[in-house]
Amino acid sequence: MKRTSAIFFTFFLILLSLNAQNTLQSKYNMFRAGDQIIKQQIEYISPGQSGASVIWDFSKVSIVNEEYPLFFYREQADDLTQIIAWEHETRFL
């Protein structure tokens, strides 16, 4: 009985130390100054009917712009430091 209890206790301690998934934290997963995202701009097509369990097919859509960059940079305004997104001649705060 003692041996079974010791094995169970050891197994329980091992299970306590396992971690299935790390949690996302915004301070580590936010955009930073110097980050860049490259997107593709496609032509607009109507997706079709709406509703649940509907499959839309966008496989035949044509690409308008192969590289559509989005840049992030830091800007100092008064006592506030902001991360600014710059996309297609538009700034986003």
pLDDT digits (tens, 9 = 90+) for 26-58: 777 788 888 899 988 889 988 888 989 999 988
The count of domains in the chain is 1
Range of the domain at 93: 31-48+55-93
Q: What is the pLDDT of residues 11-33, one digit of tens each?
A: 777 777 776 677 777 777 788 88
Q: Is residue 93 part of a domain?
A: yes
Examine residue 92 and state whether it is found in any structural domain, yes or no.
yes
Q: Is residue 80 part of a domain?
A: yes
3-state secondary structure of 77: strand
C-alpha span between 66 and 84 (Å, rounded): 23
Is 23 a member of any domain?
A: no
Full-model pTM: 0.50
21 by Cβ neighbours in 10 Å (0-12 / 13-18 / 19+) ranks as exposed
Residue 8 maps to a domain:
no
Q: Is residue 17 part of a domain?
A: no
Residue 64 lies in a domain: yes
* Secondary structure class of 2 (helix, strand, coil): helix
